[in-house]
Amino acid sequence: MSIAKPVLDVLIRRPQAVPPVWFMRQAGRYLPEYRELRARAGSFLDLCFTPELAAEVTLQPIRRFGFDAAILFSDILVVPHALGRSVTFEAGEGPRLEPLDDVAKLNALATQADERVFAPVYEALGAVKAALPPNVALLGFCGAPWTVATYMVAGRGTPDQAPARILAYREPEGFARMIDILTETSSRYLVAQLKAGADAVQIFDTWAGVLPPAEFARWAVAPVRRIVENVRREIPDAKIIAFPRGAGASLGAYVDQVAVDAVSIDWTAEPSFVRARIQNRIAVQGNLDPLVLLAGGTALDRAVDDVIESYGKGPLIFNLGHGILPQTPIAHVEQTLRRIRGR
Ligand code: 1CP
C-alpha cells in the first residue's frame, strides 16, 4: 500500500485539513548543522556537486522540523555553470559569474549544457529519495530562464536586475537566443530530476516582478510555458510549481497561460483576488512574510493564522513568500509549525 504524500494531494487539488508545509531555502544558513557542514565542504559548488553532502543538507531540515517536503539542496546557477560560464560563490557575498553583457557574448553562449555536470544532482536526488519518510515529498527545481539570465548578464545579484533589462531592450534577438538555450536546458534538467526521483519540481522566477507587462509576457510567461510543455511531453503527469515572484495582478494571466499545478505567491498577494482567480483553478503555495518569521511573537501567530484563514479552505501548501532569512531563530520555525499543526 502506498502512503499518501500530503503535498502531492494538494497538487491534485485535494485540500488538507492541516496544510502541508515546507519553506523555501529551508536548508541553509539559519541552521547550525548546515553552517558546520558548509565550513567543512570547501566551496558552495562542491557542496552542491557532492551527492552525499547535498543529500545530507537536504535532509537536515526534515529531521529537525518534519517538513512535508524536502527540496533538493543545489542552486539555480548550476545551469549556467553547465553551459560553461564561470560561477563562484563568495562567502557572505552571493554568487559571482563572468558577466555576459554584450551581443557578441550572447551569440557565443554554448547551445548545449555539459550534461555530466548534472550527474551528481541526480545521484543526490536518488539518495534523498531512499532516506525520506514515505509521506514527505521530494522536490527538484530550476531557475526560470529570465531569473537565471539576470544573474548571467550582471554576473551577480542586483537590486532591480537593470543590466539584464537593458540588454533585453537593446539586443532582443541575442537575449532571446540565451532565453531559448536556458529554456531547452532547463526542460531537460527537470525531466531528468523527475526521472531521478523528484515527486514534483519548482521553477523559481524570483525576478519576474521587475518586468513591464509586454516583457513579462515575453521573458517570464512564454519560456516557463514552454518548459512546462516540454516536460509534460516526456512526463505527462509531471507535477510542477511555479514561483513568479512579484507577478501581482498579472498572476491571473500567468496561470491561464502556464499550465502549472500550483503557483507560489509572495506576501503582497491580495487574498480575495488569489482565491477567486487562482485557487479556484489550481493550488497555491505561500505566503508568510519571511520578516514576520524572523520577528516572531504574537505578530507571527497572527500572520500564520491569516495565511490559513485566507487560503486554508482551498488547496494550500503552507510556505514563505520568499526564502527564509539566515538570521531567523529556529524557535520561530518551531512556533510556526506548532501553530499550523495545532500542537
Ligand atoms: O554560503 C552559502 O551557504 C550560500 C547561500 C545559498 C544557499 C543556501 C545560495 C547562494 N544558494 C543556496 C541554496 C539554494 N538556492 C536552494 C536550496 C534549496 C532550499 O533549501 O530551498 C535553492 C532552491 C536556491 C535557489 C536560488 N538561488 C534562487 C531562487 C530562489 C530565491 O531565493 O529567490 C536564487 C535567486 C538563487 C541565487 C543565489 N544563490 C545563492 C544566493 C545568496 C543567491 C541570491 C543572490 C542575490 O540575488 O543576491
Catalytic-residue membership of 38: yes
pLDDT at 2 over 80: no
| pLDDT tier at 343, thresholds 50, 70, 90 | low
Contact 103, 90 (CB under 8 A): no
Which pLDDT belongs to residue 90? 81
Would you call 252 helix, strand, or coil by DSSP?
Answer: helix
Helix, strand, coil shares, percent, the chain, to 5? 55, 15, 35
Residue 1: pLDDT over 60 = no
Say whether 302 is catalytic. Answer: no
Q: Give tens-digit pLDDT for 139-191.
A: 999 999 999 999 999 999 999 999 999 999 999 999 999 999 999 999 999 99
Task: Tell me the C-alpha distance between 319 and 251, whole Å.
Answer: 18
Looking at 30, 34, 122, 151, which residue is catalytic?
Answer: 151
Following CA atoms 310, 312, 315, 320 in sequence, which dihedral angle do they give, to the nearest 10 degrees? 70
- pLDDT single digits (tens) 27-65: 999 999 999 999 998 899 999 999 999 999 999 999 999
Measured CA to CA in angstroms, residue 307 lies from 69, 288, 318, 330 at distances of 18, 7, 8, 20
Among residues 75, 180, 301, 306, the one annotated as catalytic is: 75
Pocket test for ligand 1, best of 59, 76, 207 (most atoms within 8 A of CB): 76
If one compares 206 and 249, the residue with the highest pLDDT of the two is 206
**Which H/E stretch holds residue 88?**
strand 87-90
Confidence label for 330 from pLDDT (cuts 50, 70 and 90): very high
Task: Give which of 148, 136, 133, 137 is closest to 183, Cα–Cα.
Answer: 148
One-letter amino acid for residue 142 of the chain: C
Q: Tell me the average pLDDT of the chain.
A: 96
Going from the Cα of 24 to the center of ligand 1, the distance in angstroms, rounded, reads: 9
Interval 197-224: pLDDT, tens: 999 999 999 999 999 999 999 999 999 9
Q: Is the beta carbon of 230 within 6 A of some atom in ligand 1? A: no
pLDDT per position as a tens digit, 284-312: 999 999 999 999 999 999 999 999 999 99
Residue 34 near ligand 1, beta carbon < 6 Å: no
Distance CA 186, CA 198 (A): 15
Other C-beta atoms closer than 10 Å to the C-beta of 218 total 17
> In terms of residues, how long is the chain?
343
Residue 134 has pLDDT above 80, yes or no: yes
Cβ of 252 below 6 Å from ligand 1: no
| The pLDDT of residue 148 | 98
CB of 44 within 6 A of ligand 1: the answer is yes
Helices (H) and strands (E) in the chain, counts: 17, 9
pLDDT more than 70, % of the chain = 99
Domains present along the chain, CATH in parentheses: 6-341 (3.20.20.210)
122 carries an active-site annotation: no
Instruction: Dump strand ranges (E) for 277-334.
Output: 283-288, 316-320
Ligand 1 touching residue 273 (CB < 6 A): no
